[in-house]
Amino acid sequence: MPFRICKTFEIESGHLLSKHPKKCRFPHGHSRKVEVVLAADELDANDMVCDFQTVKVALTAFLETWDHALCLNTSDPNFAFYRQTYGDRIIPFEQTDPTSEVMARTIFAVLKRRLAEPAESPGARATGPSGVRVERVRVTETSTSWAEYSE
């Protein structure tokens, strides 16, 4: 059985689900909790799956772009208006609604890529240890609802 760790982040973000037939088609926000679970079959030289700081550095800047922003399908008829009005606080989701499921998959891909890439300069950030893998990402939308992605 592999070892696992979990790092949790919290952000405030909004979205608008263009394809939704009811209230979710209107702009609304959530206090989101993002949980990432990493796993490894063996511990590293420091007896860890991965240092929590490594996970924090790998994901914080990305998640900050979503904090107090509105995630929006690029196919939404009002996308251009929102983007022109609010600039980089509109987070584009290419021809897909930014559901919690899609957000979880996006965060999973970003974290997986960032843990695999080498540090850009000495001391910039630690890469993920050899053998560590992103096991799952869970995005909590409300106190009673969450979505999860894993490969």
Band of residue 3 on the pLDDT scale cut at 50, 70, 90: very high
Summarize pLDDT for 9-25 with one digit per residue, the tens. Answer: 999 999 999 999 999 99
pLDDT reported for residue 129: 67
What domain range includes position 142? 3-149
The CATH number that applies at residue 127 is 3.30.479.10
Range from 22-31, 54-63, 124-133 carrying the lowest mean pLDDT: 124-133
Spatial separation of the C-alpha atoms in residues 43 and 50, rounded to whole Å: 8
Would the pLDDT of 120 be above 60?
A: no
Spatial separation of the C-alpha atoms in residues 76 and 80, rounded to whole Å: 9
pLDDT reported for residue 117: 79
The per-residue pLDDT of the chain, averaged, comes to: 92
Spatial separation of the C-alpha atoms in residues 84 and 61, rounded to whole Å: 23
Summarize pLDDT for 52-90 with one digit per residue, the tens. Answer: 999 999 999 999 999 999 999 999 999 999 999 999 999
Spatial separation of the C-alpha atoms in residues 76 and 111, rounded to whole Å: 27
Closest residue by Cα to residue 127 from 63, 58, 61, 41: 58
More confident residue, 3 or 127: 3
Would the pLDDT of 125 be above 50?
A: no
Domain count, the chain: 1
Would the pLDDT of 139 be above 70?
A: yes
More confident residue, 115 or 129: 115
More confident residue, 36 or 127: 36
Assign 3-class secondary structure to 74-109. CCCCCHHHHHHHHHHHEEEECCCCCCHHHHHHHHHH
**How far, CA to CA in Å, does 10 sit from each of 49, 64, 96?**
22, 10, 23
pTM: 0.92
